[in-house]
């Protein structure tokens, strides 16, 4: 736990998988270090927040430190849930309403992290994390 | 449709042979070229320096337009460290051959200096990239705003068979079909080399017909405008008729736009032939015979079947060549890039066979 102070991350190998463990303000989250878009090393990407503009010329910034951007193409993922987000007003990709596949449950029930956002097409693989006696435990299903 | 996918990153993810048509090996610093510059030009280079890349005024998403994981541990800039490039690109993806396209600001108005700089870049490529890494092939950088000096550098550098093509940038001072550039095409044809024309450049014109846009998104998403203008120029000025063995490679300019442009040019040519009586072949015929295209950044229609239709419209699947654009941020991963299931022979051609045929790679 001491190796991952708030605002930092550590990339570990667990059961042959590369996993990024993130500390956001004392809460721990784990994501698979592989972007569901093209397989880039997701957890090595920059951590930032969301820039939202409801109209041109107005901006607000939210959730600093909770959004992970893939180092390749910049896809944004919510570290807390693994959900990707995008702005449908800016990105004209509207083909995600046809099929609701298993695994989309998070996408359909979770409220947007900032106004104006819709769930993106990707969900990064997440793992349950617990803290026991200053050890961060990542639960990787067999 | 939300999807949870699992993939193991890198480590030779691909089994089929791959040729990468667009790798950006980078000059680490101005000083890296000093050993290859004569004293007079080294002094000029140190005192006055390169003209900066004025055609590219948009901040490109990331520093050096690079993947944020492409900064080598050595501290060199992305693309400047051969051993890291081997590890992150060539070995990771089983790349049999890669075409190096160093993007160096050699488009300045002082052509004697840019000619010396181009020669230095070519000698640097041969010594620091082609000597140690036989999988890499070079591109001959030229001071292409001057036809005579450019042709002389092509004749000089082409004696080294490890150079696979001549390299230009798409944003020239004038349309590239014009007579002042013909000596370049003549020299390329004489030496049996294709001319690759890459996204970017500092010719001074905006890439649109409407002036300078505000955003990098417009530059990145709209670059096909200048590629279209250049292809129309090549056709209408008669470059393909005058140099029938010349091959032009459009690099990082997309390809979905080309079929409709061919339709329109063919239709207009039938009606306006008297204006360009030296065009004996239809524009589409010239283009399909003498133009090649790299794939990155890949066309990604929302419905995969549209990609298949696009290839059908284009009729040039045997002239399409896969490229990663490493180390840039819009990198296409070899095992993920093609957005639809294609016939195995077509896919193998795009991933390797077409480039091997064009560049004569064994």
* Residue A66 pLDDT grade (very low, low, confident, very high; cuts 50, 70, 90): very high
SS3 A36: coil
Inter-chain touch B3–A36, beta carbons under 8 Å? yes
* CATH classification at residue A65: 2.102.10.10
User: Cα(B158)–Cα(B156) distance, rounded to whole angstroms?
Assistant: 6
Task: Report how far residue A88's alpha carbon sits from residue B353's, in angstroms, rounded to the nearest whole number.
Answer: 39
Q: How far apart are CA B297 and CA B322, in angstroms?
A: 10
pLDDT of residue A93: 26
Let me know if residue A112 belongs to a domain: no
B9: pLDDT confidence band, cut at 50, 70 and 90? Answer: very low
Show which residues on chain B lie within 8 Å of chain A, measured between beta carbons: 1-10, 13, 61-62, 67-70, 302-303, 329-333, 335-337
**Structural domains of chain B, ranges and CATH numbers in brackets:** 18-359 (3.20.20.140)
Q: For B195, list phi and psi in degrees, rounded to 5.
A: -110, 110
pLDDT at residue B6 is higher than 70: no
Q: Does residue A74 form part of some domain?
A: yes
User: For the residues B89-113, what does the mean pLDDT come to?
Assistant: 90
Ranking B53-57, B74-78, B122-126, B339-343 by mean pLDDT, the lowest is: B53-57
**Residues in contact with B221: Cβ distance below 8 Å, sequence separation at least 6, in sequence order:** none
List the structure tokens of B104: 């160096």
Which positions in chain B touch A36 (Cβ < 8 Å)?
A: 3-5, 7
Mean pLDDT for the stretch of residues A47-53: 87
B219 closest CA partner among B173, B170, B179, B185: B170
> From CA B106, how far away is CA B118, in angstroms rounded?
7
Task: Indicate which of A35, A71, A100 best probes the interface with B, i.e. most B CBs within 10 Å of its own CB.
Answer: A71
Contact criterion met (CB < 8 Å) for A72 and B329? yes
Both tokens assigned to A64: 């600093």
Contact call for residues A42 and A31 (beta carbons, < 8 A): yes
B162 versus A141: the higher-pLDDT residue is B162
Identify the band that residue B37 occupies on the pLDDT scale cut at 50, 70 and 90: very high
- Among B44-53, B65-74, B196-205, B324-333, whose mean pLDDT is lowest? B44-53
Chain A: closest CA distance from residue B331 (Å): 7
Task: Write down the pLDDT at residue B107.
Answer: 75
Nearest CA in chain A to B335: A38
Q: Nearest-CA neighbor of B233 among B277, B283, B158?
A: B283
Among B201, B187, B162, B173, CA closest to B56: B201
Contact A18, A32 (CB under 8 A): yes
The shortest C-alpha distance from A64 to chain B (Å) reads: 19
Phi-psi map region of B51: left, alpha, beta (phi>0 left; psi -120 to 50 alpha): beta
Q: Is residue A21 included in any domain, yes or no?
A: yes
Pairing mode, strands A17-24 and B163-169: unpaired
Closest-CA residue of A relative to B336 is: A38
Predicted confidence (pLDDT) per residue in B169-214, tens digit: 999 999 999 999 999 999 999 999 999 999 988 788 888 999 999 9
Judge: B302–A93 Cβ closer than 8 Å, yes or no.
yes
Percent of chain B scored above 90 by pLDDT?
81
pLDDT digits (tens, 9 = 90+) for A110-124: 566 666 677 777 888
Nearest-CA neighbor of B34 among B43, B24, B23?
Answer: B43
Q: Do B335 and A39 touch (CB under 8 A)?
A: yes
Residue B270 confidence (pLDDT):
96
Q: Please report the pLDDT score of residue A10 as a whole number.
A: 94
What are the two backbone dihedrals, phi and then psi, of residue A77, each rounded to the nearest 5 degrees? -125, 140
Which pTM was predicted? 0.85
What pLDDT, on the 0 to 100 scale, is given for residue B30?
A: 81
Total structural domains in chain A? 1
Q: Which long-range contacts (CB under 8 A, 24 or more apart) does A110-113 make?
A: A110/A81, A110/A83, A112/A85, A113/A50, A113/A62, A113/A63, A113/A66, A113/A67, A113/A78, A113/A85
> Residue B340: which of B284, B265, B256, B244 has the closest Cα?
B256
- Domain containing residue A27: 9-84+123-139
Give helix B111-125 / helix B39-47 axis angle, nearest 10°.
110
* Cα distance from N-terminal residue to C-terminal residue, chain A: 24
CB contact under 8 A, B330 and A73: yes
For residue A58, is it within any domain?
yes
Asked if B258 and B293 count as a contact pair (C-beta separation under 8 A), the reply is: yes
How many other β-carbons are positioned within 10 Å of the β-carbon of residue B156? Answer: 13
Structure confidence at residue B91 (pLDDT): 96
Residues of A in contact with B336 (CB under 8 A): 37-39
Token pair for residue B317? 């699947």
Of A108 and A44, the one with more pLDDT: A44
């Amino acid at each position: 736990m001491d190796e991952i102070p708030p605002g930092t991350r550590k990339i570990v190998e667990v059961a042959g998988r590369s996993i990024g463990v993130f500390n956001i303000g004392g809460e721990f989250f784990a994501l698979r270090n592989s972007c569901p878009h093209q397989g880039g090393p997701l957890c090595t990407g920059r951590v930032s927040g969301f820039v939202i503009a409801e109209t041109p010329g107005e901006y607000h910034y939210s959730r600093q430190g909770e959004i992970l951007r893939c180092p390749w193409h910049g896809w944004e993922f919510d570290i807390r849930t693994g959900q990707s987000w995008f702005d449908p007003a800016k990105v004209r990709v509207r083909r995600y309403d046809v099929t609701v596949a298993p695994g989309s449950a998070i996408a359909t029930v979770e409220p947007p992290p900032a106004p104006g956002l819709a769930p993106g097409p990707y969900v990064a693989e997440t793992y349950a994390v617990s803290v026991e006696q200053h050890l961060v435990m990542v639960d990787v299903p067999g | 449709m939300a999807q949870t996918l699992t993939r193991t990153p890198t480590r030779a993810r691909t089994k089929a042979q791959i040729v990468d048509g667009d790798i950006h090996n980078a000059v680490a610093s101005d000083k890296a070229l000093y050993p290859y510059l004569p004293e007079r030009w080294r002094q000029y280079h140190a005192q006055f320096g390169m003209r900066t890349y004025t055609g590219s005024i948009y901040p490109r998403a990331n520093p050096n337009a690079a993947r944020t994981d492409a900064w080598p541990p050595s501290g060199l800039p992305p693309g400047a460290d051969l051993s890291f490039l081997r590890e992150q690109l060539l070995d990771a993806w089983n790349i049999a051959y890669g075409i190096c396209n160093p993007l160096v600001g050699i488009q300045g108005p002082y052509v004697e200096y840019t000619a010396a700089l181009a020669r230095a870049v070519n000698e640097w490529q041969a010594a620091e990239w082609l000597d140690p890494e036989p999988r890499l092939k070079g591109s001959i950088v030229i001071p292409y705003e001057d036809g005579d000096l450019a042709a002389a550098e092509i004749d000089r550098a082409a004696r080294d068979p490890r150079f696979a093509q001549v390299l230009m940038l798409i944003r020239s001072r004038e349309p590239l079909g014009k007579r002042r550039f013909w000596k370049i095409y003549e020299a390329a044809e004489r030496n049996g080399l294709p001319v690759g024309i890459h996204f970017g450049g500092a010719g001074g014109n905006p890439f649109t017909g409407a002036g300078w846009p505000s955003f990098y998104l417009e530059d990145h998403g709209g670059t096909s405008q200048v590629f279209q203008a250049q292809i129309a120029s090549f056709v209408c000025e008669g470059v393909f008729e005058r140099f029938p063995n010349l091959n032009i490679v459009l690099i990082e300019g997309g390809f979905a736009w080309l079929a409709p442009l061919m339709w329109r040019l063919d239709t207009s040519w039938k009606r306006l032939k008297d204006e360009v009586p030296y065009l004996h072949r239809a524009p589409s015929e010239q283009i399909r015979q003498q133009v090649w295209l790299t794939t990155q950044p890949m066309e990604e229609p929302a419905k995969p079947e549209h990609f298949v239709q696009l290839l059908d419209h284009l009729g040039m699947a045997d002239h399409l060549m896969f490229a990663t654009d490493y180390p840039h941020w819009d990198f296409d991963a070899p095992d993920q890039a093609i957005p639809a299931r294609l016939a195995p022979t077509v896919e193998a051609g795009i991933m390797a066979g077409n480039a091997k045929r064009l560049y004569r790679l064994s």
